[in-house]
Amino acid sequence: MHDYREVSRLSERVMHKYMQFEKRSRCYGTETPITQAEIHTIAIVGERHGINVTELAKLRGVTKGAVSQMVYKLVDKGFLSKHVSPNSDTEVCLNLTENGRIVFLAHQKYHEESGSEFARIMSQMPQEYQDYTIQFLAAFEKIMDEKLEKKERKG
């Protein structure tokens, strides 16, 4: 069995590299550059028309405050629109604008054409390894959630 520190170091390196990747911008069918975090927010809104900020935050794995900031940016860039929910005057629903739909579809096409490296790697693994990977990542996410919640409670 590998030392847990080896797994910890590798996980940390992957997370740091992913965070660097998240900051990179590219254009998806418009001339406006979009970061990975922005396009993945647009992708969720495109898949879930009328989603609210709370649900979007849960799906992105970030705070409502972080999602609110992202939503303001994407509204300013012309990719999202905000509307009062028909269910509650205090809830805001999000939808794609026409430019948002263009970006959403271009992002989907990008993934279809480039093929997912994750899908390729996973398809080469026996199902048992795939299941273990999912279990490990889910457990790791739970630990991170607990640490974040503990930090928020302490202030």
Paired residues of 32 in beta bridges: none
pLDDT at 33: 94
Which residues neighbour 146 within 8 Å (Cβ) at sequence distance 6 or greater? none
Pick the CATH number of 4-115 from 1.20.1730.10, 3.30.360.10, 1.10.10.10, 3.20.20.70: 1.10.10.10
pLDDT at 116: 72
Where the chain has pLDDT below 50, the residues are none
Tell how strand 80-84 and strand 92-96 pair up.
antiparallel
How far is Cα 144 from Cα 128, in angstroms, rounded to an integer? 24
At 86 the three-state DSSP class reads: coil
How far is Cα 105 from Cα 112, in angstroms, rounded to an integer? 10
pLDDT at 145: 86
pLDDT at 24: 85
pLDDT at 93: 94
Q: Which amino acid is at 15?
A: M
User: How do residues 103-128 score in pLDDT, each as one tens digit?
Assistant: 999 999 988 777 677 788 888 999 99
pLDDT at 2: 65
At 95 the three-state DSSP class reads: strand
pLDDT at 89: 81
Would the pTM of this model clear 0.75, i.e. be above it?
Answer: no
Nearest alpha carbon to residue 61 among 81, 43, 41, 87: 41
At 94 the three-state DSSP class reads: strand
How far is Cα 121 from Cα 124, in angstroms, rounded to an integer? 5
Nearest alpha carbon to residue 22 among 40, 39, 35: 35
